[in-house]
Amino acid sequence: MKKILVLLLVVTLGAAYVNAQDQKTGSVGLVLTNSIAFAGIGGELFLGNLGLGATFTFLPIGGGGDMVIFYEPGAYARFYFGNPASAMYLMGGMSYFTAAGSSGDSGLSSFDGGILNINGGFGYNSMFGDNNATRFYIEVGPRYTSLVVDSDEEIYAGFFLHFALGFGATF
C-alpha cells in the first residue's frame, strides 16, 4: 500500500510540473467519512473530466503501551460533468477497513481480516478562493460491504450508505 501511495504522489507531482495550463492538476486535503476510522487525508489527480485519487483515514485509540489503530485505505475514480472547478460528478471506488494493535512491549500486529467496501455515488465539487486554491466536495451513495476473513464461506455482505466530505488545497 505504501508503494501505491508513493507512486500516486510522484505521478501527481510530475503532472503538476508538466501541466502549464490554468486548469488545476490535483488536490490534497482532509477527508471525513462515515467509518469508524472517520478522518484522514486524501489526494486526487485531475485528468480532464476524470479524477483519480486515494484516501487514508484512521482512528488511534489507547495510550501508553496499549493501542488499537483502526485504519481504512481506499482508491477511487470520479467522472466530472464539466470543469472540475464547479461540477457534479459520479464516483466509484473501494476501501478496506481493518485494525492493528499493540499491548505492552509486544509491538504492532495487524488483524488478519477486515471489511471490504465498494462505494458508488454522486457528489458536488467546488474550487474557490484566489486562483481556485481551495477545494470542497461532498458525496453520497450506496456502499456494498463484505466481511473478509480467512474462510471459504461468506460471513456477511450487505448494503449501507456511503458519505464523504473533503476540504483542502489545489495545485
Closest CA to 162 of 47, 14, 38: 38
Percentage, residues of the chain above pLDDT 70 = 84
Q: 1-170 maps to which CATH number? A: 2.40.160.20
Cell of 121: 455515488
> CA 140, CA 11: separation in Å to the nearest integer?
28
Q: E-assigned strands of the chain?
A: 26-33, 39-47, 50-63, 66-80, 86-102, 109-110, 114-128, 134-148, 157-170
What gap in Å lies between CA 84 and CA 25, rounded to an integer? Answer: 10
| Under 8 Å between Cβ of 119 and 141 | yes
Inter-residue contact 58 to 41 (CB < 8 Å): no
Query: Which pLDDT score, from 0 to 100, does residue 20 have?
Result: 44
What is the rounded average pLDDT of the residues 115-139? 96
> Of 117, 156, 161, which is closest to residue 142 (Cα–Cα)?
161
First and final CA of the chain: distance in angstroms?
24
Q: Where does the pLDDT of residue 22 fall: very low under 50, low under 70, confident under 90, or very high at 90 and above?
A: low
pLDDT of residue 12: 58
What is the residue type of 31? V
> Which whole number is the average pLDDT over 102-125?
86
Is the per-residue pLDDT at 64 higher than 80?
Answer: no
Q: What average pLDDT does this structure show over 63-71? A: 86
Distances (CA, A) of 163 to 2, 65, 122: 25, 33, 10
Q: How many CB atoms lie within 10 A of CB 156?
A: 9
Cβ distance 37 to 57 under 8 Å? yes
Which H or E element spans position 12?
helix 2-18
